[in-house]
Structure 1
């Protein structure tokens, strides 16, 4: 929307810059007796400017709409990738677990494929699996705003909780867990998107008048809502290869300060939109009054001989402004 408004402002400014010399030329032409040809040129120029305004506005609106559709499709693709990745990881984990259960631990083969004669002793699958998991899982906890975390032996208790947002006040916590990702940045990006959705949903629930508020990703950090973070890195064995899988936990802490930051940002957006509408309205009114003024001046300068053409030019400009306002509304 902002992009289209910028295009409209640029076209209106160009029309005014071109219109001022045209008015001067018309005034001089009326005195010199060459008003007929110049009036025709002026009509064509006004019509072309009006068409250009409508085309530019339509292109801007189409661009914005295309960007919105692209963002929506990208979100759908990311969700599909997250679901497919989680399903693949669960499938691989199930396959590995099934293969381990089917293996006979008493039959240990050496490099030549012959059963080893060394005693194997009792085999505890649960303890072996637990030892493997402990050795391949790393836990790193970050405090709010810290870039360097500290390693811990096990996942914190708070990372296992998932308290729902069922309160009506800004005083509770919420834990979000990402899907398994190949990189930490992908896991963090997923939680950042989900946090904006959580904030928007809760804000709509508590403050209905801000239902149209678009929460940017940068506001997640500005609010300080992320109290703690936990990074869990697991090594998944796939055949002969070991791949790290990252999962991130965020503890969101809702308090009055978060509400104040969100409300202040919403007010800034409202003020910005109102200023844009006010500027657009003033610009449209200026164009309309300018068109009427130019029409009156040229009609007087030409003695009313080209009144029809001048009306067409003024009508084209007014129509373009009206279409622009309608499309923006």
Structure 2
């Protein structure tokens, strides 16, 4: 067989894809061999470019995640970037102090937002890398992007409630409306938050029932665990002396406020405001105090106990019982007859 049949035909040119690549074109110009240029392009250059694309995507994802982690760490520690310091200086001191009271809550919120941002970065970076890899296989990605856009619009219309829940959950995290361990009131469900997600929040009420509430369906929400709380206790005193009862209650709340076991739970000293209401059963005196949100229920029970014991020790409770017994023994007047 003549050797000319085995040698490559110099008149043949590489493929258009090879000629469009600078490295493949350089190989062809150097070797003047079509099969060497095309073979090297599809066996070596094309896989190497795909590997480079994947590696660059992984590096970009790692750098972005590292940046997010640094921002999350600074946020969890209460630090503010240099460019945002002028804004921080305009924030009232009371707001800054309120935020510094709950470092663990701030850390959990920052971690949750960081997790969402890392997931979004991963999806975005690898989606772009996937499209670039498809273009390396000479696949036209323009129709694919257009089709994905149409599918996205269709899914957006068909899953409006899901999108609404996710957006509401994201804003809930950004605004720090509530967190795990908070006692919240969503209208239908009132209880302790056990888990928080972008779509739903899980609440356990006082009877132990688990409620799964969609974030997009929450119209208004009351958080009983943020900052401080006001405890209001109305004490009925019947028809005994108001001044005497008020004096006894003030002595009781003053002693309670100076108790070393409870004094740290008071944000402000308790106050006996005076007569709040008058009914057929007598006067009602209101006592209020400002305390930390997580201790409001324990402090409220203890204050009720101390006020009750103070009324009993002063004899006012006995006077109230005697007054009720006297009123019950007096027969009611009969209405006049026509």
TM surpasses 0.5: no
Larger Rg: 2
TM-score (norm 2): 0.25
TM-score (norm 1): 0.26
Structure with higher RCO (Cα < 8 A, 6+ apart): 1
